[in-house]
Amino acid sequence: MDVEERRKVCVDTSYLLSVGPLPPEFEMVLPPSVEAEAEKYGALPPMYTVMMPSAPAVKRVMEVAGRTGDTANLSEADVEVLALALELRCPVATDDYDIQNTAAVLGVEVIKGVHRGIAHVIKWRFRCTGCGRYYRRKYEECPACGSPLKPVPSSTQRLSSSRE
């Protein structure tokens, strides 16, 4: 089967660590940051393509992650794999719940690894562990009292059964 005939799938490091490479009928696409992480952990697949997502795709992912509150937990590699999947209009293979949450809002299909996957899209806000104030975005510390912030759900929306 030629590479052009295989279905592209953007693969996250968490998937490579928990499951390993996809079957040969898929073309695994990795952003450079995932390639570096996978190499660091000895999880590089035998065959894959490296691609960098465009700046507009990265910007779109960051906008959506900002609305859901996931920016605090998404790494550069997470953002790049989501942006690449969005740009290529292909699924993302991941066991990372923050990636799955943002992917659901972006309309990107998710191929889950060994974990069950998310059942709800969660929009996060951040609560101060000291004074109890709530914030829409995460700060290093509470602007009011300096205590740490903890993520708490502000709303949830159940995913359709086709994504579970």
CATH of domain 120-159: 2.20.28
Q: pLDDT band for position 121 (50/70/90)? A: confident
Give this prediction's pTM.
0.77
CA dihedral for 120, 104, 150, 15, sign (positive or negative): positive
Per CATH, domain 3-112 is 1.10.3720.10:
no
The CA dihedral of 96, 99, 104, 106, to the nearest 10 degrees, is -160
pLDDT tens figures, 65-109:
988 888 888 999 999 999 999 999 999 999 988 899 999 999 999
Beta bridge partners of 135: 126
Residue 4, pLDDT score: 55
**Range(s) for CATH 2.20.28 in the chain?**
120-159
pLDDT of 164 reads 34
| H-run or E-run covering 92 | strand 92-94
Q: What is the pLDDT of residue 153?
A: 78
Q: Is the pLDDT of residue 110 over 70?
A: yes
Please, what is the average pLDDT of the chain? 87
